[in-house]
């Protein structure tokens, strides 16, 4: 198959098409490949040959944007199997087949039915096949070919990022790069000059230029001044076809702003200024403003003001307002028209941010002269001091002179001055002032302990102009005199333990004085000399404004006396000295061994707890009832105690028991244990209760010495053997019990009987650790030990 195309544009393609049409048709053998064939020769085996394609292919081209009335011819398909008899049918499939591209199935001619846009799709891939029209069998294998859309110059260059906004510093050198612009062309850059763009400047000359190839915009003049012109609008054009006639173009706008540099020094509009300031102006207040102009902007226009010389350099000061860039003139010292009527200042304004590239343009500062005229005003009286401090003793007589103030008219008229105290409506008036002399006196007796300091305000006015006032503060300190005796610092609750020793400190007291330090401490503590010596307590001055209470004797008893009173005297260190008397109340209490109070007198304890009388009566009643119950219980128990020996009326099945615990072997009062110590005593006193005795026993006085040596254990064993072997034992049971403690221990008896009369060296200190139940026992043995030691 071969392809014929009439859409060859370039000379090379024209030549190819010409060769294809003229030479290729006449010489099919050079481009034709026969279909697969198998040849059988006698005597030879079957030979398979490689199949050869029977198609001839070239690339198809079709022009974009075709606007003709007829479909645009694209090319022709032809198969070697086509003999021109119409038996071959051509089929076209792939992109756009049947919609954009149609084929004549008999001749193989391909046409484009629609206008194509290369910028949307550059080529189409299709498949062609030749089949037998009668059998619908393919004559050739399906093959693929491409139809390329050939570009024409139908797209103008475009600036995708415009319009542009850019800045460049003023006073830049010529040729300084400002911005690079780029235009894009949608046409095919590989075909012709349709996408070859050149740049030119349509507006903005002679200030700026543009590179025709790169699109870089540069400054075209030296020293462009922002103060002369700040904004520029530059129009840049991009044209394809390398700028030739007929090419398409696009443009964009570049807005260029010159940024400021510090190339202008500050300048005062005038070389001489004049300012009027009244003498009544307050110190620290702003009295005027001055400003130097700077053509620059931002930080390049920042400046500071200073006073470089002049006779008012110590009276006035100048500062810079950063917002308005003005110099604020302030007053440092008060003005006095009568002393000086004018001042002269030389003020300088200088830039704070310098650019040394432009230092040749001159010094970036300027100076001017300011003349200040002081205005005369009627001023209020002027006090000789800004404030006064005066002193007066308390208890001074009414009318005592405290001090005096002085004010004068500062004006040349020197008018007379009158004084008065500026009181509030609710203030108590303790002082008054002489209207002519300014002397301050007391109107009441002062008490330093009540008010130690007074602050009053004295006003002064001129007789000629009473409405013009001046004020001054007067502080009056009230001095102390010794008019308050010392007294105890507080109410003391003093406790003495029952087991206190002589010379023991039971409490420390202190005193206070309402007077000042000079008339208060140091305090002296002592007992009243006119009273007899207290046998129970004494007082010791510690010489540090405190005193200690000490005991004089050993042991106190609440039952004998539960409260003691100790009168004391206290004097201060003032001149003359003052003294006072007080009485200390000392309660007797029971204390622990470490000195902690355990309990005091019942009245004091109960009253301290805050119990009412009814509650006390109820508590006492409950105690009485409990005591009655205990006594009744003990009485009943003693009345029901049974004898140890059972009566002879009923001696059967009886067990002799008792649960009374005696005091040990030494206790002979509760029970007679002679029977255990001497078995013969039992035989002498009574017979056996179950049988009649047959043998007469010997008297006790004959066998006493022998039986005392018999061991109780041996005696019990003997009785048990007799009971087991005695034939006269009655037929009923008889329980006989014997208790044997064994040999006497080396520790001796633990009975408390007769122990009170023995002298023991035992230490009873450990009883204090056994708890509250043994506190009384610990006290008893502790006192006995203390007395024995003494």
The kind and range of the H/E element at 512 are: strand 505-512
**Closest to 163 measured CA to CA, from 236, 253, 249:** 253
Across 321-335, average pLDDT: 94
Under DSSP, is residue 775 helix (H, G, I), strand (E, B) or coil? helix
The total number of structural domains that make up the chain: 5
Q: In this structure, are residues 203 and 234 in contact, taking their beta carbons and an 8 Å threshold? A: yes
Q: How much is the pLDDT for 771?
A: 73
Of 578-582, 596-600, 703-707, the one with minimum mean pLDDT is 703-707
Of 24-38, 209-223, 312-326, 425-439, the one with minimum mean pLDDT is 24-38
Domain boundary among 479, 504, 524: 479
Q: How much is the pLDDT for 606?
A: 45
**Residue 419 above 60 pLDDT?**
yes
The boundaries of the domain holding residue 432 are: 382-479
Same-domain pairing of 135 and 169:
no
> What is the Cα–Cα distance from 20 to 14, expressed in whole angstroms?
10
More confident residue, 366 or 187: 366
Q: How confident is the model at residue 201 (pLDDT cuts 50, 70, 90)?
A: very high
More confident residue, 572 or 46: 572
Place of tokens 């006594």: 631
**Residue 16 above 70 pLDDT?**
no
> What is the Cα–Cα distance from 228 to 323, expressed in whole angstroms?
25
In a domain, 95, yes or no: yes
Same-domain pairing of 426 and 368:
no
Same-domain pairing of 74 and 129:
yes
Same-domain pairing of 146 and 163:
no
Same-domain pairing of 590 and 491:
yes
Which of the given ranges, 549-558, 603-612, 635-644, 703-712, has the highest pLDDT on average?
A: 549-558
**Residue 108 above 70 pLDDT?**
yes
> What is the Cα–Cα distance from 216 to 530, expressed in whole angstroms?
121
**Residue 442 above 70 pLDDT?**
yes
Q: How many residues does the chain have?
A: 790
Q: What is the mean pLDDT of the chain?
A: 79
pLDDT above 70 as % of the chain: 75
Across 57-64, average pLDDT: 74
Over the stretch 243-299, which tens digit does the pLDDT of each residue have?
788 788 999 999 999 999 999 999 999 999 999 999 889 999 999 999 999 999 999
Give the DSSP per-residue string, 74-128.
Answer: EEEEE-TT--SSS-EEEEEEETTBTTTEEE-TTT-EEEE-S---TTT-SEEEEEE
Domain boundary among 356, 375, 394: 375
Q: How much is the pLDDT for 761?
A: 56
CATH value at residue 133: 2.60.40.60
Same-domain pairing of 491 and 594:
yes
**Residue 687 above 70 pLDDT?**
no
Rg (CA), the chain: 70
Which of the given ranges, 333-342, 739-748, 778-787, has the highest pLDDT on average?
A: 333-342
Domain boundary among 599, 618, 640: 599
In a domain, 675, yes or no: no
In a domain, 703, yes or no: no
Over the stretch 170-182, which tens digit does the pLDDT of each residue have?
999 999 999 999 9
Q: How confident is the model at residue 686 (pLDDT cuts 50, 70, 90)?
A: very low
More confident residue, 515 or 233: 233
Same-domain pairing of 294 and 349:
yes
In a domain, 742, yes or no: no
In a domain, 45, yes or no: no
**Residue 607 above 50 pLDDT?**
no
**Residue 14 above 50 pLDDT?**
no
> What is the Cα–Cα distance from 251 to 721, expressed in whole angstroms?
151
Same-domain pairing of 472 and 389:
yes
Q: How much is the pLDDT for 421?
A: 92
**Residue 241 above 80 pLDDT?**
yes
Same-domain pairing of 340 and 371:
yes
**Residue 18 above 60 pLDDT?**
no
Same-domain pairing of 236 and 292:
no
Same-domain pairing of 255 and 310:
no
């Amino acid at each position: 198959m071969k392809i014929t195309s009439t859409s060859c544009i370039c000379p090379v393609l024209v030549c190819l098409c010409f060769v294809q049409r003229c030479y290729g048709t006449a010489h099919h053998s050079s481009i034709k490949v026969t279909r697969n064939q198998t040849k059988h020769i006698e005597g030879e085996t079957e030979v398979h040959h490689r199949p050869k394609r029977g198609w001839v292919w070239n690339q198809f081209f079709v022009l974009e944007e075709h606007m003709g009335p007829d479909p645009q011819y694209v090319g022709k398909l032809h198969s070697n199997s086509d003999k021109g008899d119409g038996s071959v049918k051509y089929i076209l499939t792939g992109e756009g087949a049947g919609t954009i591209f149609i084929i004549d199935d008999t001749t193989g001619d391909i046409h484009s039915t629609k206008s194509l846009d290369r910028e949307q799709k550059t080529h189409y891939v299709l498949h062609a096949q030749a089949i037998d029209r009668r059998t619908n069998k393919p004559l050739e294998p399906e093959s693929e070919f491409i139809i390329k859309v050939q570009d024409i110059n139908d797209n103008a260059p475009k600036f995708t990022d415009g319009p542009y906004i850019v800045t460049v510093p003023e006073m830049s050198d010529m040729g300084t790069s400002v911005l690079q612009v780029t235009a894009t062309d949608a046409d095919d850059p590989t075909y012709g000059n349709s996408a070859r763009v050149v740049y030119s400047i349509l507006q903005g000359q002679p200030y700026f230029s543009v590179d025709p190839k790169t699109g870089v915009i540069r400054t075209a003049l030296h020293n462009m001044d922002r103060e002369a012109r700040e904004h520029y609008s530059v129009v840049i054009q991009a044209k394809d076809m390398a700028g030739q006639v007929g090419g398409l173009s696009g443009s964009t706008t570049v807005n260029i702003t010159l940024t400021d540099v510090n190339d202008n020094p500050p300048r005062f509009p005038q070389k001489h200024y004049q300012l009027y300031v009244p003498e009544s102006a307050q110190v620290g207040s702003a009295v005027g403003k001055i400003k130097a102009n700077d053509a620059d902007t931002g930080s390049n226009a920042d400046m500071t003001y200073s006073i470089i010389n002049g006779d008012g350099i110590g009276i006035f000061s100048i500062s810079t307002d950063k917002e308005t860039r003005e110099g604020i003139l302030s007053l440092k010292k008060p003005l006095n028209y009568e002393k000086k009527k004018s001042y002269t200042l030389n003020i300088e304004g200088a830039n704070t941010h310098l650019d040394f590239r432009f230092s040749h343009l001159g010094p970036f500062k300027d100076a001017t002269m300011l003349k200040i005229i002081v205005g005369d005003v009627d001023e209020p009286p002027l006090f000789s001091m800004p404030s006064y401090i005066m002193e007066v003793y308390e208890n001074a007589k009414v009318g005592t002179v405290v001090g005096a103030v002085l004010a004068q008219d500062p004006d040349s008229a020197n008018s007379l001055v009158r004084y008065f105290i500026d009181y509030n409506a609710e203030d108590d008036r303790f002082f008054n002032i002489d209207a002519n002399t300014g002397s301050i006196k007391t109107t009441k007796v002062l008490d330093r302990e009540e008010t130690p300091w007074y602050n009053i305000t004295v006003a002064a006015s001129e007789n000629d102009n009473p409405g013009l006032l001046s004020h001054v503060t007067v502080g009056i300190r009230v001095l102390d005199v010794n008019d308050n005796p010392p007294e105890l610092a507080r109410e003391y609750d003093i406790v003495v333990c029952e087991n206190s020793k002589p010379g023991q400190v039971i409490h420390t007291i202190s005193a206070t004085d309402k007077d000042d330090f000079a008339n208060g401490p140091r305090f002296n503590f002592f007992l009243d000399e006119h009273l007899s010596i207290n046998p129970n307590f004494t007082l010791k001055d510690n010489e540090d404004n405190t005193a200690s209470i000490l005991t004089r004797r050993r042991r106190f008893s609440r039952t004998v006396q539960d409260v003691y009173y100790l009168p004391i005297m206290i004097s201060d260190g003032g001149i003359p000295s003052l003294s006072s008397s007080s009485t200390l109340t000392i309660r007797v209490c029971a204390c622990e061994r470490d000195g902690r109070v355990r309990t005091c007198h019942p009245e004091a304890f109960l009253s301290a707890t805050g119990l009412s009388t009814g509650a006390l009566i109820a508590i006492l009643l409950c105690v009485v009832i409990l005591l009655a119950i205990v006594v009744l219980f003990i009485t009943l128990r003693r009345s029901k105690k049974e004898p140890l020996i059972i009566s002879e009326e009923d001696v059967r099945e009886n067990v002799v028991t008792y649960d009374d615990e005696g005091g040990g072997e030494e206790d002979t009062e509760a029970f007679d244990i002679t029977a255990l110590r001497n078995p013969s005593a039992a035989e002498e006193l009574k017979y056996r209760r179950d049988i009649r005795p047959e043998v007469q026993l010997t008297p006790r006085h004959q066998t006493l010495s022998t039986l005392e040596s018999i061991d109780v254990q041996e005696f019990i064993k003997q009785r048990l053997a007799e009971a087991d072997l005695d034939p006269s034992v009655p037929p009923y049971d008889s329980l006989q019990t014997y208790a044997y403690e064994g040999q006497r221990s080396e520790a001796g008896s633990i009975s408390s009987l007769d122990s009170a009369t023995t002298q023991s060296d035992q230490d009873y200190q450990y009883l204090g650790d056994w708890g509250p139940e043994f506190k009384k026992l610990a006290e008893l043995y502790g006192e006995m030990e203390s007395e024995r030691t003494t």
